[in-house]
Amino acid sequence: MSALPADPHLPAVHLRPPRNWINDPNGLAYHDGHYHVCFQYNPSGPEHANMHWGHFRSPDLITWEELPVALAPTPGGEDADGCFSGNAVSDGDRMIAFYSAFRTDRWAQPVTTAESADNGVTWTPRGSLLIPEPPEGTTMYRDPYVWREAGRWRMLVGSARADGHAAALLYESEDLEQWEYRGPFLDHPPQPVAPGADTGLGWECPQYLHADGRGALILSAWDPERGPRRTVVYAGGEHNGRFLAAAPALLDHGPDFYAPALLPAPHGRWLLWGWSWEARDPEWVREAGWAGLLTLPREVALAPDGTVSQRPATELLALRAGRAVTATAETSGTAVLGTVGPSFDLTARLEPRTAGTAGGLRLVTSAEDTEYLDISLDPLTGELVVDREHASLDPRAHGGTYRVPAQTGAPVDFRLVVDRSVAELYLPSGRTLTLRFYPTGGAPWPIEVRAHGGGLGYTVEAWNLRPYAMRQADESGARSTLADVGPVHP
């Protein structure tokens, strides 16, 4: 296995190509014994332009192959200016990708398809539009999501409407070719979803998680002036082709998570990947030559209360290498627990001994203790607070403090996966918080527990992570003779 990448911020256990721009996960499907993960990809540079579909596949979520580009714009065709977001389905011996055909000379991104008969190695575009015209009164239209349910094919398309409602529009088909418009599956004007945040004027990338008559509609909130904003989820159930929704909630409480996509996996399991965008200034992105990454694969489920529960896919435990930290004690000040590498998986329990005790974990990433990421308890609100204001000494990195509800009056448990420039926080409730940060100090990095206002009991375990194995397939789909090359970087 080769050395890790020279760029200290390129991830080792998060999927992305070695350079250039990526955004939304697309085309997620399980087919012919493989998990397929496509994504929006600009093969020419680190900016959002020239959209193709990049493509990885894996038999086990641990060993990956980078396949040839799945979809590329057709000069003069319906997708001449970009193959935008969508999904894919497995239908017998073929895979069919449904995606948004982008052209600069029209406002809508109508649905078209491409087909693969060789397990995703090559794709043939249909060359025409599947659904040529959006419904009347639509002002934004994009991002099909197709699934099979009760013996029929169904499709949601994200949209905005002239009446000020965001909407997920429903279509149905018997054969994946002839589609009948059924109307809005859910539509709603902007609703508050968090302090200073709402559900948006338009919805991108609709996804539908459903089981046992219950469902959760996952939507990416879009604003016509400010663009992508956040991801929201509506729990509820379907009645006569309409989704009857409860109040909306955030799917992820961090600032750097958007456009998640679902993959219905074997044995009734659902997996989800999201896009984590950059949180640094554009000139740094251009200098680095890459932007964006996909989150870890998450197992998602509908909790009894209707919320969506998320946790890292079980397979990722196999990426744990040597145990780096094991500590159980109590402190009323600062305790240094040990050091971790730049990619690690950590579990923690924090237990305030007295009311009003604050504190938490600090990941120190500079020798002078001037650069650090804090995860702390707020005893007044019962929230975990992730503070990246001091997480990079480079002024081009973005700051901010972000909160996720935890527990009050009880020990607080969480799992934290850090991979060079991304942190994913998971709580037992199924809530998550994803953010990017850019340490300038080289690993190993000390882990500290800090307490204020009383004693804080703690149990912390951390494992360094080995990178994904990544192979490249040739145009025939055969594996190359190259050895495993670690993550997707040279």
Give the other-Cβ count within 10 Å of 139's Cβ. Answer: 16
pLDDT at 223 over 80: yes
HSE-CB of 263 using CA atoms within 13 angstroms: 24
Stretch among 171-180, 209-218, 381-390, 446-455 having the lowest mean pLDDT: 209-218
Taking residues 115-122, report their average pLDDT. Answer: 98
Give the angle 401-403-405 at the CA atoms, nearest 5°.
170
| 151-195 pLDDT per residue, tens | 999 999 999 999 999 999 999 999 999 999 999 999 999 999 999
- Residue 157, burial from CB neighbour count under 10 angstroms (0-12, 13-18, 19+): buried
Read off the tokens for 437. Answer: 């940060």
| 345-395 pLDDT per residue, tens | 999 999 999 988 999 999 999 988 999 999 999 998 999 999 999 999 999
Of residues 294, 306, 344, 299, the one with CA closest to residue 323: 344
Rounded to an integer, what distance in angstroms lies between the CA atom of residue 97 and that of residue 145? 10
Residues above pLDDT 90, as percent of the chain: 89
Mean of the per-residue pLDDT values for the chain?
A: 94
SS3 of the chain: CCCCCCCCCCCCCCCCCCCEEEEEEEEEEEECCEEEEEEEEECCCCCCCCCEEEEEEECCCCEEEECCCCECCCCCCCCCCCEEEEEEEEECCEEEEEEEECCCCCCCCCEEEEEECCCCCCCEECCCCCECCCCCCEEEEEEEEEEEECCEEEEEEEEEECCCCEEEEEEEECCCCCEEEEEEEEEECCCEEECCEECCCEEEEEEEEEECCEEEEEEEEEECCCEEEEEEEEEEEEECCEEEEEEEEECCCCCCCEEEEEEECHHHCEEEEEEECCCECHHHHHHHCEECEECCCEEEEECCCCCEEEEECHHHHHHEEEEEEEEEEEECCEEEEEEECCEEEEEEEEEECCCCCEEEEEEECCCCCCCEEEEEEECCCCEEEEECCCCCCCCCECCCEEEEECCCCCCEEEEEEEECCEEEEECCCCCEEEEECCCCCCCCEEEEEEEECCCEEEEEEEEEECCCEEEEECCCCCECCCCCCCCCCC
Give the angle 80-83-85 at the CA atoms, nearest 5°.
150
| 33-78 pLDDT per residue, tens | 999 999 999 999 999 999 999 999 999 999 999 999 999 999 999 9
Would you say 244 and 218 are in contact if contact means Cβ atoms under 8 Å apart? no
pLDDT at 476 over 70: no
pTM score, whole prediction: 0.95
pLDDT at 304: 83
Rounded to an integer, what distance in angstroms lies between the CA atom of residue 435 and that of residue 211? 30
Residues 6+ apart with CB under 8 A from 382: 405, 406, 407, 408, 409
pLDDT at 451: 97
The residues that bridge with 65 in the sheet, in sequence order, are 57, 471
Would you say 175 and 151 are in contact if contact means Cβ atoms under 8 Å apart? no
Read off the tokens for 292. Answer: 């964006």
| 71-117 pLDDT per residue, tens | 999 999 999 999 999 999 999 999 999 999 999 999 999 999 999 99
Taking residues 139-147, report their average pLDDT. Answer: 98
